[in-house]
A and B are shown apart, each in its own frame.
Chain A
Amino acid sequence: MHVLSIDRSIIDAIVAHARRDHPDEACGVVAGPVGSDTPTRHIPMDNAARSMTFYEFDSMEHLRVWREMDDRDEEPVVIYHSHTATEAYPSRTDVAFAGEPGAHYLLVSTREPDSEEIRSFRIVDGVVTEEPVRVVEAGVDPHAVQSYMFGQSPATVDYECSGR
């Protein structure tokens, strides 16, 4: 089973981006070394659609960022966007457009003002598979890992998604 392991600092930066652009959808990438499955470099992207219900990378920024990843032997480990009025689950539109079969599709819902729902999915050939998100806390024991569903109380541990 796939798991998305991601640093707390990157999750925080993604949430801040989503909050900043709310009520428009925010989108971006977290790059990581090819084959590592480890997201290390957060790249917030412009939403060229500037819409509350749609996002699209700007085509020139897309080319620049993808070239830069190529030059650095990186790949898009995470592709994220926000839903600003609905749950963090891929819409039919998201599934139709999902063009990076190797990526973790991370969705953030900002519909609640005080809490975020963050969920991750694989989308391959139109099939959506949810996977747990494992947030790695930096600055403490690097092996100390907490898995949980965002938007729930911290007492909730070991969030495991259904549909494996």
Chain B
Amino acid sequence: MAIEVRIPTILRSYTGGAKVVDGTGDTLADLLTDLDSRHGGLRGRLITDAGTLHRFVNVYVNDEDVRFLGALDAKLSDGDSVTILPAVAGGAFGFAAAAAISSHGAAVAAR
């Protein structure tokens, strides 16, 4: 058994074009480490330099946003489905958070 992970278009360069990959881990943090061992660089697109889940990446376990499940500490079980979606966001004026993530180059959306 494994955890199914759905990869958004913009990150499929890390998975050889695959839309769905499998991984293992007891928590979301463990899963991302496991995925990064086969899809190098993927984890770095989801986690900030400070080691937290990026504000403008949405990650879901089954039907729940992981922000309500403990973020990187969210517990996972075999058979769970994890979905990653870059936030769809923007707006008219320079926004401090956008400037910050652009300069760090850490956001999925910023690349």
Q: Which of B91, B99, B111 contacts A55, CB < 8 Å?
A: B91
Q: Which range holds the interface residue count of chain B?
A: 20 to 34
Which positions 57-111 of chain B face chain A at CB distance < 8 Å?
58, 60, 63, 65, 67, 83, 85-95, 98-99, 101-102, 107-111
Q: Which of A53, A60, A96 contacts B102, CB < 8 Å?
A: A96
CA distance A49 to B90 in the complex (A): 10
Contact across chains for A54 and B95 when beta carbons are under 8 A apart? yes
- When C-beta atoms are compared, the residue in chain A nearest to B65 turns out to be A59
Contact across chains for A101 and B10 when beta carbons are under 8 A apart? yes
Distance of A54 from chain B, by nearest CB (Å): 4
Contact across chains for B98 and A96 when beta carbons are under 8 A apart? yes
Contacts A62-B85, A101-B10: A96 and B91 contacting too (C-beta < 8 A)?
no
Residues in A with CB closer than 8 Å to B87 are: 56-57, 59, 62, 97, 99
Q: Which of A51, A66, A83, A97 contacts B85, CB < 8 Å?
A: A66
CA distance A49 to B88 in the complex (A): 11
Interface centre among A25, A63, A96, A100 (most CB of B within 10 A): A96
A162 within 8 A of B: no
Residues in A with CB closer than 8 Å to B89 are: 49, 54-57, 93, 97
Interface size on A, residues (CB 8 A): 37
CA distance A92 to B103 in the complex (A): 12
Query: Could you list 26 A-B pairs, sorted by A, with CB under 8 Å?
Result: A25-B91, A45-B88, A49-B91, A51-B91, A54-B93, A56-B88, A56-B89, A57-B87, A57-B88, A63-B60, A63-B83, A63-B85, A66-B83, A81-B91, A85-B92, A92-B98, A93-B94, A96-B98, A96-B110, A97-B86, A97-B88, A97-B90, A97-B107, A97-B109, A99-B87, A99-B109
B-to-A contact residues, CB < 8 Å: 8-10, 56, 58, 60, 63, 65, 67, 83, 85-95, 98-99, 101-102, 107-111
